[in-house]
Structure 1
Amino acid sequence: MAKKSIEARQRKREVLHAKYAEKRAALKEAGDYAALDKLPKNASPVRLKNRCQLTGRPRGYMRHFGLSRNMFRDMALQGKIPGVTKASW
């Protein structure tokens, strides 16, 4: 489990990114880089980090499922992810 403060910081960045997304796109299209510099740093999409939805783990993230490899394995073995079965040959 990730620290709650780190998860809260990530959520704050996601909210800021969503808030300024249209404005950022318009400024980029216009080429107004001075105004882009004045936007909050955390509004930038580069500062977002992919994290597991259940545990907040940043490493071993599987983008298709939104889970870390550990949680993916546990949920797949429990049958909670439709269409995923353990391979055997």
Structure 2
Amino acid sequence: MPLRLHPDVATTDTDDGTVLLHQRTGRYWQLNTTGSTMLRHLLDGHTPEAIAADLTDRYDIDQRQAERDVTAVLDQLRTAQLVVNP
């Protein structure tokens, strides 16, 4: 499930994560550091399950909860048209 940023989306890393600006709509979103890590992993081609496993190891959280969190972020990125499948 490879993803890429929508062509109209610009990103800027901050101390607290990443800001995404959809240049066509003028809307922007801010991801915290965990959301930013999820986005980077998704753009690098990692599966949601692999990202959840990484979060589970990193933050000592429940695997199922991590999978739900990754899925929720991915759904929101898609709904906002910030990412697309090539």
The two structures have a TM-score, normalised by structure 2, of: 0.25
The two structures have a TM-score, normalised by structure 1, of: 0.24
Instruction: Point out the structure with max Rg over C-alpha.
Output: 1
Structure with more of its chain in strand, by fraction? 2
Structure with more of its chain in helix, by fraction? 1
Q: Flag the structure with more relative contact order, 1 or 2, with Cα contacts below 8 A and sequence separation at least 6.
A: 2
